[in-house]
Chain A
């Protein structure tokens, strides 16, 4: 047979047909219920997701079946999703990051509803708003919270004092109650010290202000509400920081931010409890000069993760025993001492590990600020498409920050882009 163009095309068509068949067999992957073997209990989490001593202790505590822990680096959710699609080697227990939980809730049938394995007895120990994040609208609980990220105001005591602002945490808490107070203090600080803008990066503040509310971009009824007053108010708050010229335009985590923490050009930062680690590792000379105060206008949550059991688990009951043990208040306190993993169980806040004073914060006890914040975080419904819809708002805020667009022009661009994305995802 000669290799004519026709036979070649025929060959391609056959391969293409095979590809289509291959795809279609992947279509019903959602219903695979191939169980894992009962001889091993596999567990996945990302580096630093669980405290080391807690992990070692848990593995020792459950000898049968033996827990096989795998640390998965890189894009964790991506690897989990790929494994789900592959249909083999799916872990019995897996971590789920806080930013991914909303998009995985529609896949609740791939996970064990923890209520069916006796979660009711322990759910009360966890912060209610956090459990809600892992609960589907019809009441299935997909994950047990590992940690949370309550926010606070981190600030340089020496620079606040030199700039004529209150410097004692109690006084700061009293005077900087709202964003308006905070911005007013920023204007005052700028007069005394023009190199110290109180807002590190206004666009970074945006998510925190949105997180202080009880509504986000998409409502429970799957309606787009990103163009409404609550988002516009958050937007205007951030824009106000820019127009008052107290915005340092220094995104956190960047080289400028790291250097600025020590040099005093980033005198304050509003962020989650885990930011403490970033600040501690970035600074050399300003240790002991940092303090903590409540977030102006109330706390928000940033980050925090869950442990879930997949439908492939050989023994969901046993798997639940493991995660229940791992995430008990005692072990959560230990994980905090290990790796600053902030407990999701209020009972842990009274343990010795959390009550310890922190020299970095001049002997202040961080839990005195983060504890009350954790309990007061507002509950907001987060749609699976929340992140995608929020992206245009972030992008457009940056154009306001650099002066490329006016606030109103950027706002209408953000709303129309967000609406288009939401509509594409089937939001009304």
Chain B
């Protein structure tokens, strides 16, 4: 910007803009509660987490600035890498079946004639059930000697498994629970998406002689793409923050071989069990980076070619 421009031109335009902004004060006031609350409970904690990530703090003593120490330790910490791997594996093990199942259910619900609302409610109930209560329930379903799953296996003549004592068993138990909880939610979203697809397209497909499978892959799926992107992004954010399920089912240690230790559980352990808040803040930032990365990847994959806007 040159000096002359700043002297002459703005004087004319600035004043009215200012007046215009102030004349809308009532509207800003009406909007302000969200921004005030966000600043206090969203922005401030976020910023102080960033500051904290460069400090050592045990929760009570004075904070000490340590630069990149926390991050240096994080990179060398085998537990962190293990937690990262677990989180991604759990995310894939739970999100893929959840979305596939939800899509199938949604298509079935769309074509069902009777009791559709009953099914919708039934599928949605797991999503509003207390997570901790369900985690306790699931851990008894998967318990070794008296659990339901093993009772079913025994009755089929298959030897019982130590579900919550084996690394893969823990992952299966946790992802089963996530699938159970989120299928209904995604089904409802897909259902809404399905209802927005014009009927004419299906009629045209019928006239052209397309079968159910062809119709699904040529019309339903492409039309649902934005909805799928939404559910994938939401599942990514939720899945990378898995915490309650492993914490209640296998405890703060993450179970056998730490195979249920997710990044958020690792964060919880660092902050509230080891009182190493600076380190926990560094972990929290890594979760943030992870969510960003995965969301970007999803965006790339699901936005599709030719739609880059």
Contacts and interface: CB of A to CB of B under 8 A. Distances in A.
B6 interface: no
A9 interface: no
A22 B43 CA distance: 13
Contacts of A30: 60-62
Nearest to A16: B47
B226 interface: no
A38 to B, nearest CB: 26
Interface stretch (A185-193, A218-226, A339-347, A390-398): A390-398
A260 B48 contact: no
Contact of B43 (A15, A104, A402, A405): A15
Interface stretch (B72-80, B116-124, B231-239): B72-80
A2 B144 CA distance: 65
B79 to A, nearest CB: 7
B73 A424 contact: yes
B60 A81 contact: yes
Interface string A383-395: 0010110010011
Given A19-B51, A394-B253, A249 B144 contact: yes
A220 B44 CA distance: 40
Contacts of B256: 398-399, 401-402, 404
Interface size class of B (residues with CB under 8 A): 35 or more
A27 B62 contact: yes
Q: Pick the most buried of A259, A402, A405: most chain B CB atoms within 10 A of its CB.
A: A402
Interface string B163-177: 001110000000000
Q: Pick the most buried of A27, A103, A395, A420: most chain B CB atoms within 10 A of its CB.
A: A395
B272 A250 contact: no
Contact of A388 (B77, B147, B273): B273
B274 A249 contact: no
A370 to B, nearest CB: 27
A402 B274 CA distance: 26
A362 interface: no
Chain B interface, DSSP helix/strand/loop, else mixed: helix
Nearest to A265: B145
B146 A81 contact: no
Contacts of B258: 395
Contact of A255 (B48, B60, B140): B140
Given A23-B48, A23-B51, A85-B60, A255 B275 contact: no
A74 B6 CA distance: 60
Nearest to B270: A388
B17 interface: yes
Interface residues of A, number: 47
B143 A254 contact: yes
Contacts of A2: 17
Nearest to B78: A417
Contacts of A81: 59-60, 275
Contact of B272 (A22, A75, A107, A265): A75
B85 interface: no
B114 interface: no
Nearest to A110: B60
B95 interface: no
Interface in A25-62: 26-28, 30
B274 A388 contact: yes
Nearest to B46: A19
B145 to A, nearest CB: 5
B62 A20 contact: no
Contacts of B269: 391
Interface string A251-286: 000111001100001000000000000000000000
B253 A391 contact: yes
A256 B145 contact: yes
B257 to A, nearest CB: 5
Contact of A20 (B51, B77, B257): B51
Contact of A402 (B51, B139, B143, B162): B162
Interface string A72-106: 00010010010011000000000000000001101
B292 interface: no
A107 B58 CA distance: 10
A178 B140 CA distance: 34
A159 to B, nearest CB: 16
A352 interface: no
A395 B253 contact: yes
A15 B143 contact: no
A78 B272 contact: yes
A260 B145 contact: yes
Nearest to A20: B51
A22 B44 contact: yes
Interface in B238-263: 253-258
Contacts of B60: 30, 81, 84-85, 104, 106-107, 110
B51 A256 contact: no
A137 to B, nearest CB: 16
Contacts of B61: 30, 106-107
A250 B48 CA distance: 42
B39 interface: yes
Interface string A350-379: 000000000000000000000000000000
B257 A387 contact: no
A287 B274 CA distance: 39
Contacts of B309: none
B18 interface: yes
A405 B256 CA distance: 11
A85 B59 contact: yes
Nearest to B70: A424
Interface in B196-237: none
B63 A27 contact: yes
A22 B279 CA distance: 20
Contacts of A387: 273-274
Nearest to A399: B257
- Shortest beta-carbon contacts, A-B, top 9: A255-B140, A19-B47, A388-B274, A259-B146, A256-B143, A398-B256, A255-B143, A399-B257, A256-B145
Given A106-B60, A402-B165, 4 more contacts: A15-B47, A81-B60, A399-B256, A402-B166
29 contacts: A15-B44, A16-B50, A19-B48, A19-B51, A23-B48, A27-B62, A28-B62, A30-B60, A30-B62, A75-B272, A85-B59, A104-B60, A106-B58, A106-B60, A106-B61, A249-B144, A249-B162, A250-B145, A255-B140, A255-B146, A256-B146, A385-B274, A388-B274, A391-B253, A398-B253, A398-B255, A402-B162, A420-B76, A421-B274
